[in-house]
């Protein structure tokens, strides 16, 4: 019995984190850990139900951060959106996951920023959000963000 591949769906989860500068450093660090999951629906043959077969790839990236922890957390989200904007393949759903409540709530417009430098970074994020589709930005607890956190050390 042969299998027919009938559908291929791709989801991207990007875990991001940012850290402020260490003593003697000008800028902090940003880490991005992207997990790309492909779901291929295969139909085994006549009369059988289809099954979703997941496969995963991952990418890690590091970038310079900002002069404060909050700047670096927002820059991490900005870099994740740039990653998605430059990504050549289409995706069905993408989620950016951050352990910074300030960054997630500011980007999702639940909290208002007062610091001019944070506002400037958030404006860049908002502009990029208009150019990508099917992206959500969500908060996760710190203990679920260990791979992105490790990239900021």
d(CA 41, CA 5): 6
Average pLDDT for 78-92: 82
Residue 66 has pLDDT above 90, yes or no: yes
**Which pLDDT value is given to residue 141?**
96
Average pLDDT for 40-69: 72
Decide: helix, strand or coil at residue 73.
Answer: helix
| Cα-based distances in Å from 79 to 32, 71, 106, 120 | 8, 12, 16, 14
pLDDT band at 1 (very low <50, low <70, confident <90, very high): very low
Opening angle at CA 95, ends 91 and 98, nearest 5? 150
Of residues 55 and 149, more confidence is placed in: 149
- Contact between 94 and 11 under an 8 Å Cβ cutoff? The reply is yes
**Which pLDDT value is given to residue 91?**
75
Task: Give 62's strand partners.
Answer: 31
Percentage, residues of the chain above pLDDT 90:
56
Domain ranges for the chain:
4-145
pLDDT tens digits along 133-150: 889 999 999 999 999 999
d(CA 89, CA 101): 30
- Contact between 33 and 15 under an 8 Å Cβ cutoff? The reply is yes
Other CB atoms within 10 Å distance of the CB of residue 132: 14
**Which pLDDT value is given to residue 37?**
83
pLDDT tens digits along 7-25: 566 788 999 999 999 998 8
Tell the CATH superfamily of the 4-145 domain: Ribonuclease H-like superfamily/Ribonuclease H (3.30.420.10)
d(CA 81, CA 27): 21
Task: Give 30's strand partners.
Answer: 18, 63
Percentage, residues of the chain above pLDDT 70:
84
**Which pLDDT value is given to residue 39?**
74
């Amino acid at each position: 019995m042969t299998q027919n591949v009938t559908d291929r769906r791709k989801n991207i989860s990007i875990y991001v984190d940012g850290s402020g500068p260490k003593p003697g450093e000008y800028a902090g660090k940003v880490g991005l850990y992207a997990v790309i999951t492909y779901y291929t629906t295969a139909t085994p043959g006549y009369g059988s139900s289809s099954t979703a077969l997941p496969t995963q790839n991952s990418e890690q990236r590091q970038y310079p951060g900002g002069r404060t922890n909050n700047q670096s957390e927002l820059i991490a989200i900005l870099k994740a959106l740039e990653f998605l904007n430059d990504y050549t393949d289409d995706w069905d759903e993408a989620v950016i996951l951050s352990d910074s409540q300030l960054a997630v709530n500011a980007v999702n417009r639940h909290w208002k920023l007062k610091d001019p430098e944070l506002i400037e970074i958030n404006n860049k994020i908002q502009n990029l959000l208009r150019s990508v589709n099917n992206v959500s930005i969500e908060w996760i607890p710190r203990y679920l963000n260990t791979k992105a956190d490790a990239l900021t050390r």
